Amino acid sequence: MYKPNDLIFRTTTSLIAFILLGFSIYLLLAGHNSPGGGFIGGLMTSAAIILMYMAYGSDILRKILPVNYRMLIPTGLLIAAGTGIGSFLFQQPFLSHTYNHFHLPVFGDLELATAMLFDFGVYFTVLGVTVTIILSIAEDR
């Protein structure tokens, strides 16, 4: 998979990977009002990571992104379950969501929903799952 003479691939990857990462963050954040969401966002991010892995190999990937992807799975699950449990603090049933509008200095009028937090959980879990599966199969030689 890792060949010494793939200059074009590596150069384009360094561009495309950032575009992919940005697009995936967009998908994650825009999910509430337009197509997208945690699931597809997570998949897109992992696509970017896999692309980097294919271009540079696992050693360099670990240097660029020193993340333990396996740990993302429980982290994401904890966030998702935590938003559910959080509703208990407000005497609400499990996984009740709410939203409100805020005025922030830079962004102006902004709608923030607790469902967004849940989506972050989904995002991290999916990201962790996909990268773990593909990397462990790919590295199994």
Partner 1 sequence: MIFTVLIPLLLACFVPFISKFKHKIHTGTVIFFIPLAIFFYFIQFIGSGFEPIRHTYSWIPSLGINFDFYLDGLSLLFVLLISGIGALVVLYSVYYLDRSEPLGHFYVYLLMFMSAMLGVVLSDNVFVLYTFWELTSISSFLLIGYWHFKEKSRYGALKSMIITIFGGLSMFGGFALLSVISGTTSIQTMIANADVILDNPYMPLALGFILLGAFTKSAQFPFHIWLPDAMEAPTPVSAYLHSATMVKAGLYLVARFSMIFGSYEWFFIIVSIAGIVTLCWASYMAVHQTDLKAILAFSTISQLGMIMAMLGFGTKAAVFAAVFHILNHATFKGSLFMVAGTVDHETGTRDIRKLGGLLTFMPITATLALFGTFSMAGIPLPFLNGFYSKELFFESTLDLEGGASGIAGFLIDVIPYLAVFGSIFTFVYALYFLFGTFGGKTQLDKLVKKPHEAPIGMLVSPGILVLGVILIGLFPSAVNGTFIAHAAEAVYGEPITKDVHFWHGWDSPAFQMSLVVVGLGALLVTTRRKWNGIYQVFPGKLSVNKVYDTIMGKLNAYSRTITTFYMSGSLRNYMAIILSTILVVTVGFMLATDGFTIDFGNLAPITFIELTVVLIIIASAIGTIFAKKNLAVILIVGVAGYGVSLLFLIYRAPDLALTQLVVETVSVALFLLCFYHLPDLKRLHAPLSTRTTNLIISVGFGALMTLVGISAHSSSWFETISDYFIETSKPIGGGSNIVNVILVDMRGLDTLFEITVLGIAALAIYTLIKFKTDKGGK
Binding site for partner 1 (CB under 8 A): 27, 31-40, 43-44, 47, 50, 70, 73-74, 76-77, 80-81, 84, 94-95, 97-99, 111, 113, 115, 118-119, 121-122, 125-126, 128-130, 132-134, 136-138, 140
Residue 15 CB, shortest distance to partner 1, in Å, is 20
- Report the nearest approach of partner 1 to the CB of residue 32 (Å): 3
How far apart, in Å, are the Cα atoms of 58 and each of 12, 42, 47?
Answer: 18, 20, 15
Q: Which is nearer to partner 1, 60 or 95 (CB)?
A: 95
Q: Which is nearer to partner 1, 14 or 74 (CB)?
A: 74
Degrees, nearest 5: CA angle 43-45-48:
115
Q: In Å, what is the CA distance from 80 to each residue of 23, 73, 86, 87, 99?
A: 22, 11, 10, 12, 16
Shortest separation between residue 132's beta carbon and partner 1, angstroms? 5
5: three-class secondary structure by DSSP: coil
